[in-house]
Structure 1
């Protein structure tokens, strides 16, 4: 039971640590450029705590907590099974497997992030909101569904797919390249610090590769909260954003995102890798009935002993 729940517990801890940074990121991404509330990352942190209390940083956390189990199961499950189908463990195949995992988990990720974004924007600058539109993340999705149907619940799906597909490809590719170059073998010295570094840097590379798309996704998902839609399409959102704020709009909230990316992904990847090493070691432990196996099996074991990635 401990082995089964340990990776999930680390993932939940990552959400608890990283969510305040995510709230700051979203607030900076969607704030009105004509009347900006925040001057930067640190000022946004200060303002939210001062105006809305520390709990303001955790608005919308219920959504990623609910989706955490499904997303981690889909991402690592699809990536692992795709690698088995591709047979050869190469950096290119790692990218393809990661991209497949990113595309499939978007089905859950999009509604989850829609509810998260709407909750994070609710009651901006108010310690106690006089009128809350949504009680919680689930109520948010139900209200959107009742008003707009499935199309409303899946608002931002195209941008989510555009972001997640290459991002997860870069995610697994970066981790694969770094673990190979650092020599993260089970008996290697400083294996855990190496895994933490590789996971953290993979997270940073993943976010940087598609961050401009994330800005547009956040703006589209936050659009229409007050009843008026500012953007008619993805292209219109890009056009209006660039015209009003220049190309630097695509870096809004990036500092907060990178501060969050390293520790959260370092812990996630290191935990999953160690968990899989433990599970694989248990599976490959010799049994009495295997004593008389042929030399072909011995040869296969020698091949499996070659350095491989996650």
Structure 2
């Protein structure tokens, strides 16, 4: 009779198989969440522009959706989708195999990604383990995946939002040429400097500009990514190895 650990080892996936499954799950999620990403980014940049006397175009996140769809259509709401696919496949395809996706990118991207990654999988696994160990939900239930990923999405939002605001503003700031002939940011030296200046000018609320749109993006994105990843992996294992035989 094969032991439980032996069965688990026999049904494991290779790194490439896990990468593909994670990439597919992330691509499904980003297709759904990208319009909210567009709204979040525009709200974050509007907050910065308003400091300098710029005109406010949007009243709130829902107003962004309405005006973007009216003026730009579906293409406007899905702006930036191709690079988003590439990013999600590389990041989540790797991260749903281990911690290698934790430090992808540089500077502001490192801060944002590390803060999000530091809580996403631990909060998901903790919630899932708690639900299963207390007999609330079965391990392979879709409801277990949904509940665990919902908690994970909320945790990611709280931790990632300030860094996400810094990322957007650092990436979109104008540049100037310094005395050494090198191009540098005109407003912020680095993401920490951005967070500090944003705090001084706008308070803590400035860090959470666009948080409603971010939640509308990160919640379904996290839920779909983690839930789809588990479902896809389980489906692939059943297709590859056949159904689990509890009597063997």
Confirm or deny that 1:252 pairs with 2:213.
no
Confirm or deny that 1:30 pairs with 2:45.
yes
Counterpart in 1 of 2:143?
A: 193
Which piece of structure 1 moves more, 232-241 or 9-18? 232-241
Confirm or deny that 1:241 pairs with 2:198.
yes
**1:19 Cα deviation from its structure 2 partner:** 0.4
Counterpart in 1 of 2:119?
A: 170
Counterpart in 2 of 1:223?
A: 173
**1:246 Cα deviation from its structure 2 partner:** 2.5
- Out of 94, 101, 105, which is 1:74 matched to? 94
**1:279 Cα deviation from its structure 2 partner:** 5.6
> For the residues of structure 1 that align with 2:123 and 2:113, how far apart are their CA atoms?
15
**1:285 Cα deviation from its structure 2 partner:** 8.1
**1:190 Cα deviation from its structure 2 partner:** 8.1
> For the residues of structure 1 that align with 2:196 and 2:21, how far apart are their CA atoms?
45
2:80 counterpart SS class = coil
**1:166 Cα deviation from its structure 2 partner:** 3.3
> For the residues of structure 1 that align with 2:83 and 2:176, how far apart are their CA atoms?
21
Confirm or deny that 1:16 pairs with 2:31.
yes
Contact 2:30 2:84 in 1 (8 A): yes
> For the residues of structure 1 that align with 2:143 and 2:75, how far apart are their CA atoms?
32
> For the residues of structure 2 that align with 1:8 and 1:234, how far apart are their CA atoms?
28
User: CA 1:253–1:225 in structure 2 vs 1: closer, same or farther (change >3 Å)?
Assistant: farther
Counterpart in 2 of 1:92?
A: none
Number of residue pairs aligned between Structure 1 and Structure 2 = 213
Alignment of 1:136-215 (within 5 A): 157-183=106-132, 188=138, 191-215=141-165
Q: Which has the higher contact order (CA 8 A, sep 6+)?
A: 2
User: CA 1:280–1:48 in structure 2 vs 1: closer, same or farther (change >3 Å)?
Assistant: closer
Name which one, 1 or 2, has greater alpha-carbon Rg.
1
Contact 1:200 1:261 in 2 (8 A): no
User: CA 1:217–1:274 in structure 2 vs 1: closer, same or farther (change >3 Å)?
Assistant: same
**1:283 Cα deviation from its structure 2 partner:** 5.8
1:53 counterpart SS class = helix
Contact 1:7 1:272 in 2 (8 A): yes
1:265 counterpart SS class = helix
User: CA 1:231–1:176 in structure 2 vs 1: closer, same or farther (change >3 Å)?
Assistant: same
Over the aligned positions, Cα root-mean-square deviation in angstroms equals 3.2
> For the residues of structure 2 that align with 1:232 and 1:189, how far apart are their CA atoms?
47
**1:221 Cα deviation from its structure 2 partner:** 0.4
Q: Deviations over 1:56-113 (max 9, x none)?
A: 1111111111233222221122x1xxxxxxxxxxxxxxxxxxxx34423x23xxxxxx
TM-score, normalised relative to structure 2:
0.73
**1:276 Cα deviation from its structure 2 partner:** 3.7
TM-score, normalised relative to structure 1:
0.59
Contact 2:107 2:190 in 1 (8 A): no
Counterpart in 1 of 2:4?
A: none
Counterpart in 1 of 2:59?
A: 39
